[in-house]
């Protein structure tokens, strides 16, 4: 797949060849869903907490006699049925993180990139740099490029002026190439990759090699019973 490279002024700056093994896959919703769910679960703080009847600051002694009150028989006031009592089966601090195979996560990222490429929502930028951190200049550049809801991935480090100018623009996210993730790509309408980001993506998946399939040794034919007797 070949795409034109543009600059912030809207002019062409050459072209780039995209790897079909990364940008040419057929997206699957189930794979993307599982990777996004893994990301969101890993990000959850899990700090919610409630007090059970043993943790509330109330007396644990029986507050009334067993019989003769004309009402139900109760123990202490820290029971869940009383106002100010403990919470039954309430949430406690826990981790929502679950495991997901590394190859499966890589497949989800490839499919997210492929989905944007096939939908025509992938823009390749020559470089994401500004001479001064002026939001007005960057907004004007985005209007030329037709970017109103986009996530932009730069090289190993994001240009400081570009990041400062973009941080106050709504629906625009700027991240380094290491921050490439499935949820961020799917969240925004347009995916913008710089040439450095594409090189980083290619290098990230360059180490992947298909596992060698070893052929099983051929089994010797089993001798027939007649041959053994002979």
Nearest to 148 by CA among 138, 163, 160, 156: 138
Extract the tokens encoding 141: 């550049």
pLDDT of residue 218: 55
pLDDT of residue 10: 84
In this structure, which CATH number among 3.40.1160.10, 3.40.1370.10, 1.10.490.10, 3.10.110.10 belongs to the domain 2-29+111-206? Answer: 3.40.1370.10
pLDDT of residue 219: 57
pTM reported for the whole predicted model: 0.79
Handedness of CA 54, 59, 62, 68 (dihedral sign): negative
pLDDT of residue 213: 37
pLDDT of residue 211: 42
Extract the tokens encoding 75: 């123990």
pLDDT of residue 9: 87
pLDDT of residue 139: 95
Concatenating the DSSP letter of every residue in the chain gives: -EEEEE-TTS-EEEEEEPPHHHHS----HHHHHHHHHHHHHHH---------TTTSSS--S--S-SSSSSS-----TTSTTSTT-PPTT------------HHHHHHHHHHHHHHHHHTT-EEEES----SS--HHHHHHHHHHHT-SSEEEE-SSS--HHHHHHHTTSTTEEEE-GGG--HHHHHHSSEEEEEHHHHHHHHHHHHT--PPP-PPPPPPPPPPPHHHHH-
pLDDT of residue 226: 57
Concatenating the DSSP letter of every residue in 135-189 gives: HHHHHHHHHHHT-SSEEEE-SSS--HHHHHHHTTSTTEEEE-GGG--HHHHHHSS
> Burial letters for 152-180: b for 16+ Cβ neighbours within 10 Å, e otherwise?
bbbbeebbebbbbbbeebeebbbbbbeeb
| Rg (alpha carbons) of the chain, rounded to whole number | 30
1 burial via Cβ count (<10 Å: 0-12, 13-18, 19+): middle
Q: Using 70 as the pLDDT threshold, list the residues of the chain that sit under it.
A: 208-230
């Amino acid at each position: 797949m070949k795409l034109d490279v543009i600059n912030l002024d809207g002019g062409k700056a050459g072209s780039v060849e995209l790897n079909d093994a990364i940008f040419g896959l057929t997206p699957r919703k189930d794979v993307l869903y599982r990777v996004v769910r893994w990301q969101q679960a890993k990000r959850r703080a899990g700090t919610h907490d409630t007090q059970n009847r043993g943790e509330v600051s109330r007396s644990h002694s029986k507050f009334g006699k067993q019989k003769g009150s004309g009402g139900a028989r109760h123990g202490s006031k820290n029971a869940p049925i009383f106002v100010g009592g403990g919470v039954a089966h309430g949430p406690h601090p826990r981790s929502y993180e679950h495991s997901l195979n590394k190859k499966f996560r890589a497949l989800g990222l490839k499919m997210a990139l492929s989905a944007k490429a096939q939908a025509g929502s992938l823009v390749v930028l020559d470089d994401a740099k500004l001479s001064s951190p002026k939001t007005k200049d960057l907004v004007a550049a985005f209007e030329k490029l037709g970017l109103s809801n986009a996530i932009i991935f730069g090289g190993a480090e994001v240009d400081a002026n570009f990041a400062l100018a973009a941080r106050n623009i709504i629906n625009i996210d700027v991240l380094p190439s290491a921050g490439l993730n499935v949820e961020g790509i799917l969240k925004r309408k347009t995916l913008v990759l710089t040439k450095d980001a594409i090189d980083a993506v290619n290098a990230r998946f360059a180490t992947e090699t298909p596992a060698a399939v070893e052929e099983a040794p051929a089994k010797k034919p089993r001798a027939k019973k007649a041959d053994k007797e002979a």
